[in-house]
Amino acid sequence: MNFELTINPIDKTEAQLEIILVVDKDFDHRFVKDKELLEKASFKAEQDETCLLIERDRLYIGMESISSENMRTAIASGIRRVKSTPYKSIKIASYMNHQKCTAVIRAMVEGFILGAYNFDRYKSKKSELNIEDIVISLEDYREFELDIKACAIALEKGQISAEATNFTRDIVNTTPDDCYPKIMADIAKKLAKSNNLECHILKPKELKKEKMETLLAVARASRHKPRVIHLAHKPKNPIATVSLIGKGLTYDSGGLSLKPSDFMVTMKSDKSGASTVLGIMKAVSELNLPIEVHGFVGAVENMIGGDAYKPDDVLVAKNGKTIEVRNTDAEGRLVLADTLCYAQQEVKADYIFDLATLTGASVVGVGQYTSSIMGFSDEVKEKVLKYAKSAGEFATKLDFNRYLQKTLKSQIADICNISNTRYGGAVTAGLFLSEFIDDEHKDKWVHIDIAGPAFVEHSWGENPSGASGAGVRMMTRFIEGIVRENSK
């Protein structure tokens, strides 16, 4: 899809199809061109509602009000509506008069690219989207000082963040037999090459040398050997350093604490945190951000077999803490424990974020569409929430407390890998991870449980059924935000 900005009025712009957004309350207004036809089609201009008038070559989309969030989902439903129609080009006004800022353009471009996404790797018949060109007319922007450059930058940022999201979606949607730890490492290497990132891959021998015994224990029963991936975006004179750590369970069968069959389906998505980290690395390098960003991925498959790690085992993590295994399905925190320790040893960062499909409890607690945010710094958590909102992602805070901390106590080791209560599972998992954050990093760390939104088996908003790429846009915007706050 090619995007173009023009200052020509929309009527003087050439395209096969025109998209017109109708804001709910304006619907009765006389300037809606095809009022009668739309009424006949019972178009109510509700948010994301579409009405394609073939005879007029116009696609109407309803919107509750003009905001970035509404724009992104409205455009996504619009582009889905024109799939498998023969239209090749679209024209649309920028709708910036209502918002006075370029965020709406970025959201519009994201809506087109995110909505057009389709995962058809395993389909014999590939789905068709014929749209090649999209022209955005800045005509209605003339009330304000026309800053085409700012608009062009917003457009490019939208393209980069949406394409990075789709890159993540592709990895997550790939089956466990086509995407196992070595393949994850290959994807990272390829990305490093094309985007000029530093890349270091740790294989089992090196993982042993680094004393990453908990990660190795989880990996032991799989025929696919684990990898730890370290990517780095290193601009000259960076203004801050960020470390991102992703849970990369290329499959989570539960291990010997085997998942019931209904719960095992979709567990190819347990590599979402890792895939999101790769997507963020793609975005920050293409945005050329003056921030040093490190991405760490623990890529492991959790399987059963004669060599499997067991409930009752005691493992020693990289930082020396001993862990009593009571459930092999709480494996993500074991993989992350070692990967977090490794990340902190390698890089002294200003911010440390981990992203993980860590607990079903997060999904139960806050629903499928929302990520859970945990950590010790209210300031950093609040910032994450702010940038999630501007990216059109849902996120909410879950608080730690010392009583839940106590539920992780072990009789024979330093800590258990599961808590002794069935309540608050997302929080106890976050508290478990906090045991592997050094004191000096405690206020720099935020844990993001994306178990809900990372993979949903129906389409929602700008997201298709399957992988959503949750976290990519939220964290890319966070990192962009560091630059903005420093240039004030």
Looking at this protein, which amino acid is placed at residue 253? S
The residues pairing with 50 across neighbouring beta strands, listed in sequence order, are: 61
Closest approach, Cβ 270 to Zn ion, in A, equals 4
- Residue 467 contacts ligand BES per CB under 6 A: no
Rank residues 136 and 336 by Cβ distance to ligand BES and give the closer one.
336
E strand segments, 103-240: 133-137, 198-202, 227-233
Q: Does 94 bind ligand BES (CB under 6 A)?
A: no
Coarse DSSP helix, strand, coil percentages of the chain, rounded to the nearest 5 percent? 40, 20, 40
Which stretches of the chain bind Zn ion, using CB under 5 A? 249, 252, 270, 329, 331-332
Pick the piece of the chain touching ligand BES (CB under 6 A) from 224-232, 326-334, 386-394, 406-414: 326-334
If the CB atoms of residues 392 and 452 are measured against Zn ion, the closer one turns out to be: 452
Q: How far is the CB of 357 from ligand BES (least distance, A)?
A: 4
Question: 270, 218, 435, 425: which is closest to 337 by C-alpha?
Answer: 435
Q: Is 323 in the site for ligand BES (CB under 6 A)?
A: no
The entry of Zn ion, ligand BES, none that residue 170 binds, CB within 5 to 8 Å by partner kind: none
Q: How far is the CB of 408 from ligand BES (least distance, A)?
A: 11
Asked if 332 interacts with ligand BES (CB under 6 A), we say yes
**How many chain residues bind ligand BES (CB under 6 A)?**
16
Of 89 and 327, CB closest to ligand BES: 327
User: What sign for the dihedral angle of Cα 476, 479, 483, 488?
Assistant: positive
Rounded to a whole number of angstroms, the minimum distance from the CB of residue 358 to Zn ion is 7
Residue number, 144 or 423, with CB nearest to ligand BES: 423
Q: Which candidate, 59, 168, 108, 99, places its Cα nearest to that of 469?
A: 168
Q: Rounded distance, CA 244 to CA 297, Å?
A: 8
Nearest to 391 by CA among 379, 399, 403, 383: 383
Closest contact distance (angstroms) between CB of 172 and ligand BES is 11
Residue 169 appears among annotated catalytic residues: no
Is there a contact between 102 and 154 (Cβ–Cβ < 8 Å)? yes
Based on the shown chain and the rule CB under 6 A, indicate whether residue 449 belongs to the binding site for ligand BES.
no
Q: Is 333 a catalytic residue?
A: yes
DSSP 32-94: -TTHHHHHHTT----TT-EEEEGGGTEEEEEESS--HHHHHHHHHHHHHHTTTS---EEEEE-
The option from ligand BES, Zn ion, none interacting with 338 (CB < 5 to 8 A, set by class) reads none
393: how many CB neighbours lie within 10 A of its CB?
Answer: 27
| Nearer CB in complex with Zn ion: 158/332 | 332
Give the pairing type, strands 227-233 and 292-302. antiparallel
Q: Which one of the listed residues 203, 211, 234, 259 is annotated catalytic?
A: 259
CB of 309 to Zn ion, least distance (A): 12
Q: Quick check: 280 and 475 in contact, CB under 8 A? A: yes
> Which one of 18, 48, 286, 331 is in contact with ligand BES (CB under 6 A)?
331
Q: Which of 157, 220, 225, 333 is catalytic?
A: 333
State how far the alpha carbon of 464 is from the alpha carbons of 86, 115, 455, in Å. Answer: 22, 7, 9
CA distance 154 to 283: 14
Q: Are strands 322-324 and 415-416 parallel, antiparallel or unpaired?
A: parallel
Instruction: Write out the binding residues for ligand BES, residues 346-375 only, by CB under 6 A.
Output: 357-361, 363
Contact flag: residue 324 with ligand BES (CB under 6 A)? no
Amino acid at 27: F
Give the residue from 138, 151, 150, 30 showing the smallest Cα distance to 93: 138
Can you read off the two tokens belonging to residue 277? 């980290």
Q: Could you say which residues in the range 253-292 bind ligand BES, by CB under 6 A?
A: 270
363 binds, among Zn ion, ligand BES, none (CB under 5 to 8 A by kind): ligand BES
Which x/- pattern over 409-448 shows residues binding ligand BES (rule: CB under 6 A)?
Answer: ---------x------x-----------------------
> In this complex, which beta carbon is closest to ligand BES, that of residue 12 or of residue 422?
422
Give me the phi and psi of 118, to 5 degrees please: -150, 130
Q: Nearer to ligand BES by C-beta: 227 or 247?
A: 247
How distant is the alpha carbon of residue 125 from its chain centre? Answer: 28
The minimum distance between CB 39 and ligand BES, in angstroms, equals 44
- For residue 450, the minimal CB distance to Zn ion (Å) is 12
Among 16, 118, 322, 327, indicate the residue that binds ligand BES (CB under 6 A): 327
Cβ neighbors of 186 (< 8 A, separation 6 or more) are: none
Q: Does 252 help bind ligand BES (rule: CB under 6 A)?
A: yes
Q: Can residue 135 be called a binding residue for ligand BES (CB under 6 A)?
A: no
Residue 244 binds which of ligand BES, Zn ion, none (CB < 5-8 A, kind-dependent): none
What is the smallest separation between the CB atom of 281 and Zn ion, expressed in angstroms? 22
Instruction: Answer for the pair 46, 77: CB distance below 8 angstroms, yes or no.
Output: no
Question: Which of residues 358 and 373 has its CB atom nearest to Zn ion in the complex?
Answer: 358
Binding partner selected for residue 451 from ligand BES, Zn ion, none, CB under the kind-specific 5 to 8 Å limit: ligand BES
Residue 390 token pair = 């501007």
Catalytic residues: 259, 333
Give the residues lining the site for ligand BES (CB under 6 A): 252, 270, 327, 329-332, 357-361, 363, 418, 425, 451
